Amino acid sequence: MITFIVRRLLLMLPTLVGISFLIFMLIALSPGGIGAGVSAAGAGGATGAAQQQAYAEERYGLDDPVLVQYFRWLHRVSPIKFGARDQLSPGGELIRLPREVRPAALLDWDAGEWRKARDSRSDVELLALARAQAQAATAEPPEAYRRAARAYAEGRVRQIDSGVEFRSALERYVGAVGVRGAFDSRNQPREAIFTALTPERSRPEWTAVEKAGRAMVEAYNGARERRAALVVAIEARPFPQVGVPIVPGVLSVAAPDLGTSFSKNRSVADLILTALPVTMLINLLAFPLIYAVAIPGGMLAASRRGTWIDSLLGALAVGLWSIPTVWAGVLAIGFLARPSGGLGAFPVAGLHDNAAAYFAFLPNVSSSGAFERGWLLDLLWHIALPVACLVYGGFAVLSKQTRAAMLENFSADYVRTAKAKGVPRRDVVLRHVFRNSLLPLITMFVSIFPAMLAGSVIVEQIFSVPGMGSLMIESINVRDREVILANTLMIAIVNLLALLGADLLYALADPRVSYGSER
């Protein structure tokens, strides 16, 4: 059994990698690509766009090839870390070494005089200079880091701004000289065309290109110097490191980092921890109700096969299953919740009353004699309709599955033998037929946990419940890569563990199932 479990756990790793890679590539190949969510979340104006681009490139590496981005994300969510350990700021932000500053397109274009001003010093030389300057400084490491981080962010924004101005000057120039196809669909210059282009230096448009090119080189040099200063500030370890070192500076073990949401600028872990309890609460109420009603109903229908009870329960199950959840939710709001035109017996949306923060936890009677429902009863009152919409559709599937599994076992030889020995009918149904019908029910049971984490998308949207389903839909709409990937990975892990749990429960429910080594 232990060997079987270990083998299954090891096989989960390539499965998880394959699932996450597929989702990552689907996001990358969607219109707008991976950066669409970042662009949508950016502030307005040229400066805001430059700030957002600098932020995205530094934090998410959106200017790297897709495969590089994927493996960087995979390394981040893996508990096994390579390289220097991250540091944790007092605000809870993980601090890593900044990425190398990349030159803008055509920075070294031979036709441009600005390329002569490019700093020829290597990163090693810049780091040595930054270390010498840091030794002469008197600021404490945390303050030195904050200053260096602000300066580097400003330098990167300036670099991107200068690159935008340079491309605009190039566009005006090639438009004036009549060169077509000089820029691709992403508004990036085609280097092959510009390499073969001999500039007409007498044109005023070319003067603007030269000026913008010099500004671009200065910004690039400044960004590299500020990056070196930031690297030195981080190497001083202004904040505590995270994880446990295995090989110092090379290998360590730390908690997975799920990243930061593009659209909400919040930790993905925080978003999940906020939405997950809501979804878990609704489903933990819904699924026991489904099983408490559906399994006894299926057992009763199977034991009374062909009677009016069987027909009634079957018709009721099929009738409930045929009602779409969307329609049921809309009808529930229109007739049961809406104050005007409906009964107004339930809240229309949300989880609590606006004044729920001031409620006592349990129902009580105020000093004036008025009944106060309290925080707990208010919560149950708000989620009554969402739970009802989740419950009714599950009756049909589970009750029909229970009935089919039990009918198959009712005709088995061991049941006829038990009846011939005079075993009471109740014992035949419960101890013989039902126990041997558990395998398909176990299969359905283990699918509950992934569904609880994924959230009930339709119900949460209809009743404005801020759970995992709503979070996932919002993330898909804005293509928030970090949230989508974290949710996908979490659901995939739970699915695989649930399947492993199902196999183990099979062995407990049926002695004929064994995962021991074959002899």
3-state secondary structure 306-340: CCHHHHHHHHHHHHHHCCCHHHHHHHHHHHHHCCC
pLDDT at 111 over 60: yes
Strand partners, 251: 82, 247
Residues 314-343: pLDDT tens digits? Answer: 888 888 888 888 888 888 888 888 777 667
Rg (CA), the chain: 32
Give the pLDDT score at 519: 44
Q: Which of 217-221, 430-434, 513-517 is predicted with the least confidence, judged by mean pLDDT? A: 513-517
**Tokens coding 9:** 């756990």
Distance of CA 171 to the CA centre of its chain: 39
Q: Report the phi/psi class of residue 251: left, alpha or beta, with left for phi > 0 and alpha for psi in -120 to 50.
A: beta
Coil, strand or helix at 80? strand
Give the pLDDT score at 36: 57
Nearest alpha-carbon partner for 486 in 255, 256, 252: 256
Stretch 111-136: mean pLDDT, rounded? Answer: 88
**Tokens coding 72:** 């960087």
- The 10 Å Cβ neighbour count of residue 406 is 22
Of the segments 49-58, 92-101, 183-192, 363-372, which one has the largest average pLDDT value? 92-101
Cβ neighbours of residue 147 closer than 8 Å, sequence gap 6 or more: 139, 233
Residues 443-497: pLDDT tens digits? Answer: 777 766 666 666 578 888 888 888 888 888 888 888 888 899 998 888 888 888 8
**Tokens coding 273:** 């921890």
Cα distances from 327 to residues 78, 261, 351, 516, in angstroms, run 42, 33, 21, 49
- The 10 Å Cβ neighbour count of residue 187 is 10
Q: Output the DSSP codes for 484-499.
A: HHHHHHHHHHHHHHHH
> Do 294 and 281 contact (CB within 8 A), yes or no?
no
**Long-range contacts (CB closer than 8 Å, 24 or more residues apart) made by 472-479:** 474/263, 475/261, 475/263, 478/36, 478/37, 478/40, 478/41, 478/262, 478/263, 479/27, 479/30, 479/32, 479/34, 479/36, 479/37, 479/40, 479/262
Q: Alpha-carbon distance 168 to 171, whole Å?
A: 5
Q: Alpha-carbon distance 116 to 221, whole Å?
A: 12
Give the pLDDT score at 16: 92
Nearest alpha-carbon partner for 454 in 427, 408, 492, 424: 492
> Do 301 and 310 contact (CB within 8 A), yes or no?
yes
Give the pLDDT score at 43: 47
> Do 470 and 275 contact (CB within 8 A), yes or no?
yes
Q: Which of 47-56, 111-120, 183-192, 436-445 is predicted with the least confidence, judged by mean pLDDT? A: 47-56
- Label residue 107 exposed, middle or buried (CB < 10 Å: 0-12, 13-18, 19+): middle
Q: Alpha-carbon distance 240 to 250, whole Å?
A: 17
Nearest alpha-carbon partner for 452 in 401, 394, 377: 394
What is the end-to-end Cα distance of the chain in Å, rounded?
Answer: 14
Query: At 452, which amino acid appears?
Result: M
Nearest alpha-carbon partner for 509 in 438, 425, 433: 438
> Do 88 and 96 contact (CB within 8 A), yes or no?
no
Give the pLDDT score at 450: 67
Mean pLDDT rounded to a whole number for the chain: 84
Q: Alpha-carbon distance 19 to 397, whole Å?
A: 28
Q: Alpha-carbon distance 456 to 477, whole Å?
A: 17
Q: Alpha-carbon distance 357 to 331, whole Å?
A: 30
The number of residues in the chain equals 519
pLDDT at 518 over 60: no
The whole-model pTM stands at: 0.79
The secondary structure element, H or E, covering residue 247 is strand 244-247
Q: Alpha-carbon distance 379 to 217, whole Å?
A: 60
Distance of CA 228 to the CA centre of its chain: 33
Q: Which of 1-10, 42-51, 235-244, 505-514 is predicted with the least confidence, judged by mean pLDDT? A: 42-51
pLDDT at 39 over 90: no
Give the pLDDT score at 17: 92
> Which is it for the CA torsion 454, 456, 461, 466, positive or negative?
negative
